Amino acid sequence: MVWLLYIIGFVSSCLIALLLTPLVKKLAFWIGATDQPDARKVHTKIMPRLGGLAIFLAFVGAYFIVSPILNDYNYNAALGILLGSTVIVLTGALDDRFQIRPRYKLLGQLVAAGIVVAFGMRIDLGSLPFVGDLLVGAEWVSIPVTILWLVGVSNALNLIDGLDGLSAGVSGIATLTIFVLSLIVPSLTVSLLSIILLGGIVGFLFYNFHPAKIFMGDTGSLFLGFALAALSILGFKQATVVSLLIPILILGVPLSDTALAILRRLVNKKPISAPDKSHLHHCLLQLGFSHRVTVLIIYGIALIFSGSAVACTILLTRETTWAVFLIIGILLLLLAIGAEFIGIISKRRRPILSFIQKIGQLVTKSN
């Protein structure tokens, strides 16, 4: 019965997105919510934004189709995510149309995060080793940490929204991963919300994959980042040092790209908020990969992160913590090597690759 509802939820959400996206495209042109090409952007013609509205409406529509049939799920948490998402979508839509000031955009994100927190969804820090006992009952600590997570992930996904189908595809992979993990560590609420969110993303991707007919805009990237952040909180409440890494792995692509962007600007002595063309997708394009191949490469990276998250979750259920740290260590090393190889931090400073090269030379001489 539950699997049938999952199928109904996914299919209905996908169909709603397929039907609504062309209408949202017309709406975007009508109200002037368009994206103009410039030196930092890849597209060369005026494109409609606001596509995330179709994903959101598909998500809400499918939820109200499936949820009345269910009884055993967290209605309060689902309502909090829906209300918070409504605020984040309105914020993104206003920015897509009017390019509102960053402080007003941040205010909308904080209000949306506050709604989720008000409905009882918080990162529980009480089980953290060493400091957990000190934090039990200290809601004033968990509240800002939760808000920071929600706002941070929303903006991280927004930063990678630079190529056709990139944010939607990466979000779809992350959403599918959360759905799989919600079956391993059972959570009906997370399973339901993630599968209908995935349906909306897949339906929208028919119009958004290269060559895109519409962009999701801030409406979509903020909503998807916010929804994924909220679902990860709901699905991983056991906040040990290791289990806190699972949602970070799921969202590895946007979070690592954001972290590397901050590091790059610090290394090059530029303001952290300064825009540039050195994000992951920019670097891959500069290496000569086509638009479509670049997106597929990043999909592959997202799948590696997601596969690692699933493996770590299974290992945690078997209390094999050492293997989890081994996987994470290997991922971090590969991330550092990859970042240096494509020059995402600096085109000249490549200490790890230089070290590996020197080791190789020493081995060659010794032989």
- Which segments are annotated as binding site for Mg(2+)? 158, 218
Burial group, residue 92, by CB count within 10 angstroms (0-12, 13-18, 19+): buried
Which DSSP category does 304 fall into? Answer: H
Q: Tokens 């089980």 sit at which residue?
A: 127
Kindly state the helix (H) or strand (E) to which residue 261 belongs, with its residue range.
helix 252-267
Query: In angstroms, rounded to a whole number, what is the distance separating the alpha carbons of residues 100 and 79?
Result: 27
- Tokens for 217, please give them: 């805009």
Beta-strand relationship, 34-35 and 47-48: antiparallel
Cα distances (Å, whole numbers) of residue 299 to 192, 254, 292, 341: 24, 11, 11, 18
Q: Where are the beta strands (DSSP E) in the chain?
A: 34-35, 47-48
Contact call for residues 184 and 236 (beta carbons, < 8 A): no
Query: In angstroms, rounded to a whole number, what is the distance separating the alpha carbons of residues 219 and 195?
Result: 20
Contact call for residues 166 and 281 (beta carbons, < 8 A): yes
Binding residues: 158, 218
- Tokens for 114, please give them: 């506050």
Q: Tokens 């939607």 sit at which residue?
A: 168
Query: In angstroms, rounded to a whole number, what is the distance separating the alpha carbons of residues 5 and 1?
Result: 6
Which DSSP category does 68 fall into? Answer: G
